[in-house]
């Protein structure tokens, strides 16, 4: 349930409202299926492609991307592009996720001085971009991104994704 301030903010910021709704729908679904860091199984992807709430989330993310780009809001554009990449990965469409993660990565790297906390976002972009690249057979590119994710996570003392990245990295050699 939204608080008064969330409702008021959503009224004035339609991009925020669309993002929030899509994010909740995506996160609820992946939490319910227990999606791990190594990505969905083919069966999970097939099932996810038929979930109407996820199709609605995609439409909301697309609407939000348009609004964020129109407003010139680079941080939010990067965040929405990243979330859409996650949705495409969930659906088993890594080739569609790759340009979304690449866009998000470039944008987060471009605003790191304004948003020092974006380092975590950059690491996550490298991690999931590496995962998507590995799924499409682009092993060398996957390796570079997974190594970057591990390095950033170790610098930040954030080891939540390191084991999964190392496991995927083994498939790159």
Q: How many CB atoms lie within 10 A of CB 77?
A: 24
Q: What is the pLDDT of residue 73?
A: 86
- Domain assignment of residue 82, yes or no: yes
Say if residues 107 and 82 touch (Cβ distance below 8 Å): no
CA distance 31 to 92: 17
Q: Domain range spanning residue 146?
A: 13-170
CATH classification of the domain holding 94: 1.25.40.10
Q: What is the pLDDT of residues 70-120, one digit of tens each?
A: 888 899 899 999 999 999 999 999 999 999 999 999 999 999 999 888 999
Please give the tally of structural domains in the chain. Answer: 1
At 49, phi and psi to the nearest 5?
-65, -15
Q: What is the pLDDT of residues 42-77, one digit of tens each?
A: 999 999 999 999 999 999 999 999 988 988 889 989
Using alpha carbons only, give the angle 59, 61, 62 rounded to the nearest 5 degrees.
Answer: 65
Q: What is the pLDDT of residue 3?
A: 54
- Domain assignment of residue 165, yes or no: yes
């Amino acid at each position: 349930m939204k608080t008064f301030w969330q409702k008021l903010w959503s009224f004035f910021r339609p991009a925020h409202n669309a993002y929030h709704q899509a994010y909740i729908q995506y996160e609820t679904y992946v939490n319910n299926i227990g999606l791990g860091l190594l990505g969905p199984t083919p069966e999970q992807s097939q099932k996810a492609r038929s979930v109407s709430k996820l199709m609605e989330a995609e439409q909301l993310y697309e609407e939000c991307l348009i609004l964020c780009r129109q407003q010139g809001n680079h941080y939010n554009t990067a965040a929405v592009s990243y979330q859409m990449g996650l949705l495409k990965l969930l659906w088993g469409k890594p080739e569609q996720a790759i340009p979304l993660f690449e866009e998000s990565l470039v944008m987060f790297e471009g605003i790191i001085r304004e948003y020092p906390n974006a380092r975590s976002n950059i690491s996550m972009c490298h991690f999931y971009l590496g995962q998507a690249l590995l799924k499409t057979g682009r092993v060398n590119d996957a390796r570079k991104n997974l190594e970057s994710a591990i390095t950033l996570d170790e610098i930040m003392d954030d080891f939540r994704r390191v084991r999964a990245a190392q496991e995927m990295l083994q498939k790159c050699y």
